[in-house]
Amino acid sequence: MRGFSWFFWNSVKLSALNVLLLLPLGIYLPVIFNVKDGKKVLIITFLASLNIEIYQAVFSFFGLVFIVRTTNVDDLILNTLVG
């Protein structure tokens, strides 16, 4: 695709992967764990996403991962809204 840079397509790919990561949580919480309140589902999804971002920051800080991972607020917002 001409006109779009690698950075654009990389951000689209990472956003799609973030959606795929926590979308099942938002679907299965009401089905399997009988969480019917939408506010509870939103809070649980937010906390799960926050947990992932904190682990990324801690593991990157101590050098426990080989790939440099950055903590991003956009991931937190996107995962919370999708889940």
Give the pLDDT score at 46: 92
Q: Where are the alpha helices (DSSP H) in 4-64?
A: 6-32, 38-61
Q: Name the pTM for this structure.
A: 0.79
Digitized pLDDT (tens) for each residue of the chain, 83 residues in all: 566 788 888 888 888 888 888 888 888 888 888 888 889 988 999 999 999 889 888 888 888 877 777 777 888 888 888 87
Residue 83: closest CA among 29, 37, 45, 39: 45
Residues 6+ apart with CB under 8 A from 79: 18, 19, 21, 22, 45, 48, 49, 52
Q: Do 83 and 48 meet the contact criterion of CB atoms below 8 Å apart? A: yes
Direct distance between the N- and C-terminal alpha carbons of the chain, in angstroms, rounded to an integer: 30
- 44 contacts 79 by C-beta, under 8 angstroms: no
